[in-house]
C-alpha cells in the first residue's frame, strides 16, 4: 500500500487546513487509517484514527474539538480537517494504514506510512 499526503502548508494561528491522504495498491476499506505528527526533536505522536467503515473515531486529547478525521472509501482517501490551529500544532503530519478492525493509537501498530506533509502554524 502506498500512501501520499497533501494539503500541508503555512497558516496563521486560528486558521484551518485540510490534509488528505490517498492510498493505492491495496484494498483501502480493509484498513484503519491514522494520522500522526512529529515536531522537531520530539517523538511521533498519535493525532486521530478512523476505523475501516468510518463508524469509530478516536482523537488525541490535544486536538479534540478542533480536528476531524473522515474517509471516503470510494476515493481511497482519508482526510484530517484541522481548525483553530495553534503554533504547537506545527509538525510533519503522517498518515498510516493498519489492516485491522480496531482503531489503534500507537505508531507501532501501523504497517504502512506516507512520506509526511509539513504543517506550520505561525503565531
Q: How far is residue 23 from each of residues 7, 32, 61, 65, 72, measured CA to CA in Å?
A: 15, 12, 27, 26, 11
Residues 31-48 pLDDT 10s: 999 999 999 999 999 999
pLDDT at residue 112, as a whole number:
98
Let me know if 96 is exposed, middle or buried by CB neighbors in 10 A (0-12, 13-18, 19+).
Answer: buried
pLDDT at residue 75, as a whole number:
97
pLDDT at residue 91, as a whole number:
98
Residues 75-119 pLDDT 10s: 999 999 999 999 999 999 999 999 999 999 999 999 999 999 999
Amino acid at each position: 500500500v502506498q500512501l501520499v499526503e497533501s494539503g500541508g502548508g503555512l497558516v496563521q494561528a486560528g486558521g484551518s487546513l485540510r490534509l488528505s491522504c490517498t492510498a493505492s495498491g491495496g484494498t483501502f476499506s480493509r484498513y484503519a487509517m491514522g494520522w500522526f505528527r512529529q515536531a522537531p526533536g520530539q517523538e511521533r505522536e498519535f493525532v486521530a484514527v478512523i476505523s475501516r467503515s468510518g463508524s469509530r473515531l478516536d482523537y488525541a486529547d490535544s486536538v479534540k474539538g478542533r480536528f476531524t478525521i473522515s474517509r471516503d472509501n470510494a476515493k481511497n482517501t482519508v482526510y484530517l480537517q484541522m481548525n483553530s490551529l495553534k503554533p504547537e500544532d506545527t509538525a510533519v503530519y503522517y498518515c498510516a494504514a493498519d489492516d485491522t478492525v480496531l482503531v489503534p493509537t500507537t505508531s507501532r501498530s501501523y504497517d504502512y506510512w506516507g512520506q509526511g506533509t509539513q504543517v506550520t502554524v505561525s503565531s
